[in-house]
Amino acid sequence: MRYELNLDVGALTAIDTHVHIEVDDHGHNALTDDLVEAASKYFKTDGPRPTLDDIAAIYRERKMAAVVFTVDATTSLGHSPNSTEEIVAGAIRNSDVLIPFGSVDPLQGSRAVDRAKDLFETYGVRGFKFHPTLQAFDPSDEAFTPLFSVIDEMEVPVIFHTGQTGIGSGLPGGRGLRLALSNPMLLDDLAARFPGLDIVMAHPSVPWQDEALAVATHKANVWIDLSGWSPKYFPENLVRQANSILQNKVLFGSDFPLITPDRWLGDFANLTIKDEVRPKILKENAVRLLGLGS
């Protein structure tokens, strides 16, 4: 059971680089109940989370592809993650629209390294997703060098949550989750040590938007995805640089199911973005990042 790319890239209208598979085929959620409730309240999103096949149908109808993943925060949450193997199996069933990324728990040390190797070599994941605040780790800490060294050798991208998070928002002490671990400056250190590793900073990185823009401008291997916020709320400096010096390094991402691609794209249509830049953000930059070109 190994994923192989089966996308008709030319027929796609867009590539969503940030889609969560929150509930697996057995109804298990990647987050604990209190965190699910807090995130739903923060994003004003209620109701059941869609299954992987439901998500595939949504993107297929829109002639879009989606990068799908879970987050393995086993150690920090004391809660088992969704199965990446099941996500890969679902992506194989829907290989015309879904691209699976893996996730490993950095706090598991050598086990995380071995698992990353297995997810890549055996299952064919096309990248990895990390959430430093949720996973309780500092990506600049050299203790995690073995993990990022092996991913660097795979020549696949990594997506990091950055900035504020709705997970734990409003709970006492934020449920112990530390926002500072998602400061994009911690990724500047990682990018400097691994210049061949493509690093995607997910979300407008509020309250560190200027830091994120500085890192993406300075480091050729750092990208920004625009997920997690409706475009109508994007900081002005982010829009300005996405329209100019970072136009080749900014990616469409929704954060579905918390934000739907329809809502994101509807608000993006009203954003002041140059006509020649729009297709780069919606699709062309992701094609380069993900190695989808011919």
Domain of 64, CATH number, reads 3.20.20.140
Does 53 fall in a domain? yes
Q: What is the pLDDT of residue 176?
A: 84
Question: Which pTM was predicted?
Answer: 0.94
Domain count, the chain: 1
Does 41 fall in a domain? yes
pLDDT, one tens digit per residue, over 144-195 is 999 999 999 999 999 999 999 878 777 888 888 999 999 999 999 999 999 9
Does 4 fall in a domain? no
- CB-count burial class (<10 Å; 0-12, 13-18, 19+) for 75: middle
- The domain containing residue 14 runs over which residues? 9-289
Cα dihedral across residues 215, 217, 221, 224: positive or negative: positive
Does 191 fall in a domain? yes
pLDDT, one tens digit per residue, over 52-98 is 999 999 999 999 999 999 999 999 998 888 899 999 999 999 999 99
Does 294 fall in a domain? no
Does 259 fall in a domain? yes
Count of beta carbons in the 10 Å neighbourhood of residue 66: 27
Which strands sit side by side in the sheet containing 98-100, from one edge to the other?
A: 14-20, 64-69, 98-100
